[in-house]
Amino acid sequence: MDGKIGLEEHFAIPETLQDSAGFLAESVWGELSKRLIDIQEYRLREMDKHGMQMMILSLNAPAVQAIFDKKRANEIAIRANDFLAEQVAKRPDRFQGFAALPMQDPEMATKELTRCIKELGFKGALVNGFSQVDHAENVVYYDAPQYAEFWKVCEQLDAPFYLHPRNPIPSWSQIYAGHPWLMGPTWAFGQETAVHALRLMASGLFDKHPCLKIILGHLGEGLPYSIWRVDNRNGWVNEEKAYPAKRKLGDYFQENFYLTTSGNFRTQSLIDAMLEIGSDRILFSTDWPFENVDHASIWFDQTSISTADRQKIGRTNAIDLFKLKL
């Protein structure tokens, strides 16, 4: 399929490049770092070979979210966003941008999101999970009360918010002790992000802001397969729900969330996600440069879904969600 649009597609600036070291074997760091720094050459050639018209680019992880100092986090976010805006301006027909945000400080994050949407023309934000504030052990999730104004503005701007994974902090990672292979995309990324998403659903956020749009990668971090059980476990027990949200969490999952195919190129998983939230809420992505454009594209172009669904997931859902003028 030609004309595909991907929206979990990463880059790095010199200040954040080393954040991606260690996720893959040291022997491929030279290749991975080259892919992260490049935007206009190697990346475009891969896109051209495999029918990708556009990537919506985002900063690598954890980057800004792992900078304890609020002022420094804000400086790096602004630097990355300004760099990205320059790159998009060179080829706006091939690239658009997601804002990096200093979520350590909700006021700074709100200001930077507003700037990126209104002045830089970005299409939303991508945030790498929880943020660490002041020191390594102080972790904040975005269902916390101090983010009320941020979410209000996010809804007003109609800015989709991509909740991207990061590993749990070491002191919270005992379950992975002795099994480092379970960290990162193998398992810890998905578990961490799914819990964060469930916290947002349960907090009542979407009762207050029903038009918020949250994006999850990797076909939903396991949630399509698990969301029914979240709402229906021990169904014979008549008990009050233990969270503020007014509705079942699955309702918010179906109405406020979008999923991408990034890094999860399996037809059975795609069909499960389609059955859970519908093909109108699933979008193609590759997870470049950590995954290959060819692996994502060859699978997607051949996967056993209808032509109409392939067109929606591969292209038109992104055009509609981000109001792209192609």
3-class DSSP assignment, residue 313: helix
3-class DSSP assignment, residue 86: helix
Q: Tell me if 260 sits within 8 A of 285, measured CB to CB.
A: yes
Measured CA to CA, the distance from residue 104 to residue 108 in angstroms comes to 8
Q: At 77, phi and psi to the nearest 5?
A: -60, -45
Burial of 114 (0-12, 13-18, 19+ CB in 10 A): middle
Q: Which of 6, 1, 130 is nearest to 58 (CA)?
A: 6
**Active-site residue list:** 287
What is the total residue count of the chain?
A: 326
Q: Tell me if 286 sits within 8 A of 223, measured CB to CB.
A: no
Measured CA to CA, the distance from residue 246 to residue 6 in angstroms comes to 34
Q: What share of the chain is helix, strand, coil (3-state, %, to 5)?
A: 50, 10, 40
Measured CA to CA, the distance from residue 177 to residue 125 in angstroms comes to 33
